[in-house]
């Protein structure tokens, strides 16, 4: 996968999270997977459409999601309810939106679809067989979070 498609998602994740929850994410390991797959408990899934297309997933444990949502809402949240889910989805939305802006500045005008939250681990999501890069992040005492980016340039249509 071309790094010019992945880097906007990494830098957007870092800058948006730092601004929204005042906690700079520390980047951890990066691994490659042949397909989109997540073993996290809470997953925010987006489609990317246009000249660069594919899927992006923000995955984390229920505990991390609850911690992040508490910080975003400004009050402690004790169970992962509708407001918490919405906060996490919106965080993912802001990261994807910012990444789209970077991609657009690089000449690729793609768009994102509204987010879907999938709860439950060991989910294989894509049928598109686009390889995925998984980047780990640590958020101080709030926990860890995983960004899975699976995008490619739109294949040319057959004549």
Q: Which residues would be at the binding site for other proteins (CB under 8 A)?
A: 16, 19-20, 69, 72-73, 82-83, 86-87, 89-90, 93-94, 96-98, 100-101, 104-105, 109, 111-114
Cβ distance to other proteins smaller for residue 6 or 72: 72
CB of 32 to other proteins, least distance (A): 27
Q: How far apart are CA 67 and CA 64, in angstroms?
A: 5
User: Which residue's CB is nearer to other proteins, number 82 or number 156?
Assistant: 82
> Could you tell me the smallest distance in angstroms from the CB atom of residue 144 to other proteins?
21
CB atoms within 10 A of CB 35: 14
**Looking at beta carbons only, is 94 or 123 nearer to other proteins?**
94
Minimum distance, C-beta of residue 73 to other proteins, in the bound complex (Å): 7
Q: Are 42 and 65 in contact (CB under 8 A)?
A: yes
Maximal CA-CA distance, the chain: 57
Least separation, in Å, of the C-beta of 80 and other proteins?
13
Q: Which is nearer to other proteins, 31 or 112 (CB)?
A: 112
Instruction: State which residue, 35 or 104, has the beta carbon closest to other proteins.
Output: 104
């Amino acid at each position: 996968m071309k790094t010019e498609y992945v880097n906007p998602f990494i830098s957007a994740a870092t800058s948006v999270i730092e601004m929204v929850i005042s906690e700079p994410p520390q980047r951890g390991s990066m691994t490659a997977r042949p397909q989109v797959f997540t073993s996290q408990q809470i997953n925010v899934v987006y489609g990317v459409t246009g000249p660069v297309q594919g899927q992006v997933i923000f995955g984390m444990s229920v505990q991390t999601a609850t911690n992040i949502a508490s910080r975003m809402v400004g009050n402690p949240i004790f169970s992962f309810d509708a407001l918490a889910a919405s906060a996490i989805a919106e965080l993912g939305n802001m990261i994807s939106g910012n990444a789209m802006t970077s991609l657009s500045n690089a000449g690729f005008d793609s768009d994102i679809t509204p987010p879907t939250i999938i709860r439950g681990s060991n989910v294989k999501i894509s049928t598109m067989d686009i390889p995925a890069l998984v980047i780990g992040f640590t958020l101080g005492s709030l926990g860890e979070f995983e960004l899975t980016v699976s995008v490619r340039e739109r294949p040319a249509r057959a004549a």
